[in-house]
């Protein structure tokens, strides 16, 4: 069985500051890992995914995440936050099937001017 | 219309009502999904359809009844719901399942359901 833990339900940063959203997972099989973003009143949009290729994954809007097997982590980072990054971010793990996702509870990112 | 659309965007219903949620995808995909997003809980997969056939039912109560008449349309029929069913219901689609490659899911904006 898979599970995802997102540390911190709410993260607040200043515009221009580093964004770090934490995700730890457990999986009985080599995982596929994902970060999704949800803007207000919208569905989920895929930011980036890890599918066993390079451990440092670059996504859209300047985000990237690093897969660390020894730490069972897949933290999301962005060097400089922008006001438009304010949204809820979800980490998810796949069970090895090519469609079933287990999501974390989400982290709400607030960006202060 | 592009992507995945859902109607209505907001729905308020009493516990004795019958209503339906509609999802339509314009991406040429063959797999469609219903998810439930409740406050402070992870997204829950409810149903999966692949080429119009239901392949997944995650122990969803029978008061939720899905229907997939074709690969572009997915419905969720609702009857005698409970207040705890209030949530955001998200539809998603992907190229198809049961292949060797991961297939990305594209999400609609959701229907915000309130059960009184």
Q: What DSSP line would sit under B24-66, residue for residue?
A: EE-S--SEEEEEEE-TTS--EEEEEEETTEEEEE-S--TTEEE
C-alpha–C-alpha distance, residues A49 and A33, integer Å: 6
Judged against a pLDDT cut of 90, whether residue A83 lies above it is answered with yes
State yes or no: pLDDT of A7 exceeds 70: yes
Average pLDDT over residues A18-27: 95
Are B42 and A46 a contacting pair at CB < 8 A? no
Cβ–Cβ below 8 Å for B99 and A98: yes
Q: What pLDDT, on the 0 to 100 scale, is given for residue A96?
A: 65
Q: pLDDT truncated to tens, each residue of chain B (116 aa)?
A: 679 999 999 999 998 889 999 999 999 999 999 999 998 788 999 999 988 999 888 899 999 999 999 999 999 999 999 999 999 999 999 987 766 566 788 999 999 999 99
pLDDT-derived band at A51, boundaries 50, 70, 90? confident
Q: What is the pLDDT of residue B83?
A: 93
Distance from CA of B18 to the nearest CA of A (A): 24
> Cβ separation of B31 and A103 shorter than 8 Å?
no
Is B68:B13 a contact under the CB 8 Å cutoff?
no
pLDDT band at A27 (very low <50, low <70, confident <90, very high): confident
Q: What is the pLDDT of residue B47?
A: 95
Residue B97 and residue A99: Cβ atoms within 8 Å?
yes
Question: For A31, which residue in chain B has the nearest alpha carbon?
Answer: B102
Q: How confident is the model at residue A52 (pLDDT cuts 50, 70, 90)?
A: confident
Specify which of A3-17, A18-32, A40-54 reaches the highest per-range mean pLDDT.
Answer: A3-17
pLDDT at A32: 87
Provide, as residue numbers in chain A, all residues whose Cβ is less than 8 Å from the Cβ of B90.
43-44
């Amino acid at each position: 069985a898979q599970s995802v833990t997102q540390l911190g339900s709410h993260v607040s940063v200043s515009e221009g500051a580093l964004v770090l959203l934490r995700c730890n997972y457990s999986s009985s099989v080599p995982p596929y890992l994902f970060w999704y973003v949800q803007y207000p009143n919208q569905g989920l949009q895929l930011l980036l995914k890890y599918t066993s290729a390079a451990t440092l994954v670059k996504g859209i809007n300047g985000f990237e995440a690093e897969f660390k097997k020894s730490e069972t982590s897949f933290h999301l980072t962005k060097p400089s936050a922008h006001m438009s990054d304010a949204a809820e971010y979800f980490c998810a793990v796949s069970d090895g099937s090519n469609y079933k996702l287990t999501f974390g509870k989400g982290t709400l990112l607030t960006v202060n001017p | 219309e592009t992507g995945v659309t859902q109607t209505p965007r907001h729905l308020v219903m009493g516990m004795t009502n019958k209503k339906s949620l509609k999802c339509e995808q314009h991406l040429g995909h063959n797999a469609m999904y219903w998810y439930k997003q409740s406050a402070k809980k992870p997204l829950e997969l409810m149903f999966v359809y692949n080429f119009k056939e239901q392949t997944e039912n995650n122990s969803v109560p029978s008061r939720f009844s899905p229907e997939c008449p074709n690969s572009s349309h997915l419905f969720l029929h609702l009857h005698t719901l409970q207040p705890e069913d209030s949530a955001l219901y998200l539809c998603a689609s992907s190229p198809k399942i049961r292949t060797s490659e991961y297939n990305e899911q594209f999400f609609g904006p959701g229907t915000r359901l309130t059960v009184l």
